[in-house]
Amino acid sequence: MQKNFTKLENFGHSLSAPSYLIQPTTIDEINEAFALAKKSGLAISARGAGRSYNDAALIGGGIILDMQGMNAITEWDSATGLITAQPGVTLEQVWQKVEPDGWWPPVVSGTMTTTLGGCLAANVHGKNNFKVGPIGEHVVEFTAILPTGAEITCSQKKNGDLFYSMISGFGMLGIFTSVTMQMKRIYSGLLSVDAQPSRNLHEHLTSLLDDAPNYDYIVGWLDGTAGGKSLGRGQIHAARYLNEGEDPNPQETMKLSNQMLPPRIFGVIPKSLLHYFMSPFVNNLGVWAVNTAKYIASLPKHTFRESHAAFHFLLDYVPDWEYAYGRGGLIEYQSFVPKETAEDAWKEMLQLSLRTGLPTYLGVTKRHRPDKFLLTHAVDGFSLAMDFKVTDNNRVKLGSMLQEFDRIVLQAGGKFYFAKNSETTAETAQAFYGKETIAKFKKLKKRCDPHGLLESDLYRRIFG
């Protein structure tokens, strides 16, 4: 088993941690890594594709188990839509396997580069969270290995407590080794999308709330640079699957070649170079200009058809787009706030960010519903994800603004997501989960990992 010492980063390149890197390809090798961690007194943490915005897949001075080597789809039944795969399989591999047969993953993240292990550990949500819940609700069964060496199988009925806590548990209880999931039947490679501008935050949230029940997916883009009467303006994209018969040529639209994102922009510029062209615009003035143009272009309401891949994975159009944020990288702050309090809370946060001179450069809203997973981040309300550029000059100011955001979100009865925010403290986590949930998680941790081998920098920050 090869062990290299290397420096790993979070997705936004704002954090880094030196660690030993092991890439297991078998369950025996995971067990060997556990034995090594125990013998050497080092903490160990799983890592998928490293797409978490924070320190969830980092462990300074510890051992990283890079799960990307376990990347085989082991079973696919195109009649029932059941897929079984190893944890390092990406969502890209999954949708490309199932889509030509008329299926689509029930829940996807905004990038297709994430692994199934990472998606289960975070219990990712999609733009359809209000309708179908997080990815965990579509997992039929998973197998995992615990630091004790025990190999377990979990479903809602079998080892239910571990099913509901390992999914959402950020790899702190055990390592997923295989996942069986139910795919969603589709009758076209296209979605019907309604795009509608919203003039301010009230209109934005009203549209998310009122329109969601009529669609399969809903997502909002929010212009964080607009103030005054336009505070919270943006555009809502609401999409629905096509019914059987609506697409005259489903075999054609479901072909992979008609789903793939194009390799060149305007047929000329290779996508891999695009982030260099974006860099000059990643500042307050540039983002204001781009957002204003984007808002005007979004008028008036219109309807169009779009491939599943283009609708879901817009951010993948520009590979390495995060590098456009410069040397200090970016962080994402995502808050989940009940529908009754979201408007006031986000008004206060957006106004504060404008006053501080640190508007979000990307704002994304979604509609959510609660779920039964132990470390759930969902609420009956909305989420707002905000991306901030980090520089040597703004680091301290940004940190105190986000602390103020935490206060506003907690006061509004909101929650945070362990795949995104880098600042959440143990006290904040206790405030939104409550003592009982934290105690329950710690008890499970003792049972699954009595020697405390599994740790990440996130774990140390929240539970350490």
Ligand X SMILES: Cc1cc2nc3c(=O)[nH]c(=O)nc-3n(C[C@H](O)[C@H](O)[C@H](O)COP(=O)(O)OP(=O)(O)OC[C@H]3O[C@@H](n4cnc5c(N)ncnc54)[C@H](O)[C@@H]3O)c2cc1C
Q: Mark the segment that binds ligand X (CB under 6 A) among 20-28, 50-58, 94-102, 150-158.
A: 50-58
The residue within the footprint of ligand X, chosen from 111, 156, 206, 341 (CB under 6 A), is 111
171 near ligand X, rule: CB under 6 A: yes
Contacts with ligand X, 65-94, as mask; x by CB under 6 A: --x-------------------x-------
Q: Mark the segment that binds ligand X (CB under 6 A) among 122-130, 181-189, 207-215, 390-398.
A: 122-130
- Retrieve residue 287's tokens: 């983002």
- Nearer to ligand X by C-beta: 102 or 117? 117
- Nearer to ligand X by C-beta: 118 or 329? 118
45 near ligand X, rule: CB under 6 A: yes
Residue 174 main-chain phi, psi, to 5 deg: 180, 180
Q: What are the residues whose beta carbons fall under 8 Å from the beta carbon of 269, sequence distance 6 or more?
A: 277
Between CA 49 and CA 55 the distance in angstroms is: 13
105 near ligand X, rule: CB under 6 A: no
176 near ligand X, rule: CB under 6 A: yes
Strand order in 44-47's β-sheet? 4-9, 16-22, 63-66, 44-47
14 near ligand X, rule: CB under 6 A: no
234 near ligand X, rule: CB under 6 A: no
Asked if 124 and 114 count as a contact pair (C-beta separation under 8 A), the reply is yes
The residue within the footprint of ligand X, chosen from 175, 231, 282, 448 (CB under 6 A), is 175
Q: Mark the segment that binds ligand X (CB under 6 A) among 42-50, 202-210, 226-234, 237-245.
A: 42-50
The residue within the footprint of ligand X, chosen from 318, 419, 444, 462 (CB under 6 A), is 419
The residue within the footprint of ligand X, chosen from 33, 56, 390, 401 (CB under 6 A), is 56
170 near ligand X, rule: CB under 6 A: yes
The residue within the footprint of ligand X, chosen from 15, 17, 44, 119 (CB under 6 A), is 119
109 near ligand X, rule: CB under 6 A: yes
- Nearer to ligand X by C-beta: 104 or 354? 104
456 near ligand X, rule: CB under 6 A: yes
- Nearer to ligand X by C-beta: 247 or 457? 457
- Nearer to ligand X by C-beta: 13 or 47? 47
The residue within the footprint of ligand X, chosen from 8, 17, 47, 422 (CB under 6 A), is 47
315 near ligand X, rule: CB under 6 A: yes
- Nearer to ligand X by C-beta: 254 or 330? 330
Report, in Å, the least distance between residue 419 CB and ligand X: 3
The number of beta carbons lying within 10 Å of the beta carbon of residue 221 is: 22
Output the 3-class SS for the chain.
CCCEEEEEECCCCCCEEEEEEECCCCHHHHHHHHHHHHHHCCCEEEECCCCCCCCCCCCCCCEEEEHHHCCCEEEEECCCCEEEECCCCEHHHHHHHHHHHCEECCCCCCCCCCEHHHHHHHCCCCCCHHHHCCHHHHEEEEEEECCCCCEEEECCCCCHHHHHHHCCCCCCCCEEEEEEEECEECCCCEEEEEEEEECCHHHHHHHHHHHHHHCCEEEEEECCCCCHHHCCCEEEEEEEECCCCCCCCHHHHCCHHHCCCCCEECCCEEHHHHHHHHHHHCCHHHHHHHHHHHHHHCCCCEEEEEEHHHHHCHHHHCCCHHHHHCCCCEEEEEEEEECCCHHHHHHHHHHHHHHHCCCCCEEEEEEECCCCCCCCCCCCEEEEEEEEECCCCCHHHHHHHHHHHHHHHHHCCCEECCCCCCCCCHHHHHHHHCHHHHHHHHHHHHHHCCCCCECCHHHHHHHC
The residue within the footprint of ligand X, chosen from 15, 46, 181, 386 (CB under 6 A), is 46
Q: Mark the segment that binds ligand X (CB under 6 A) among 106-114, 188-196, 408-416, 436-444.
A: 106-114
Report, in Å, the least distance between residue 351 CB and ligand X: 26
Report, in Å, the least distance between residue 364 CB and ligand X: 8
118 near ligand X, rule: CB under 6 A: yes
The gap from C-alpha 45 to its chain's centroid, in whole angstroms, comes to 19
Contacts with ligand X, 381-410, as mask; x by CB under 6 A: ------------------------------
Q: Mark the segment that binds ligand X (CB under 6 A) among 104-112, 292-300, 389-397, 426-434.
A: 104-112
11 near ligand X, rule: CB under 6 A: yes
Asked if 109 and 124 count as a contact pair (C-beta separation under 8 A), the reply is yes
Question: Interface residues with ligand X (CB under 6 A)?
Answer: 11, 45-52, 56-57, 67, 87, 109-111, 114-115, 117-119, 121-122, 124-125, 170-171, 175-176, 315, 419, 456
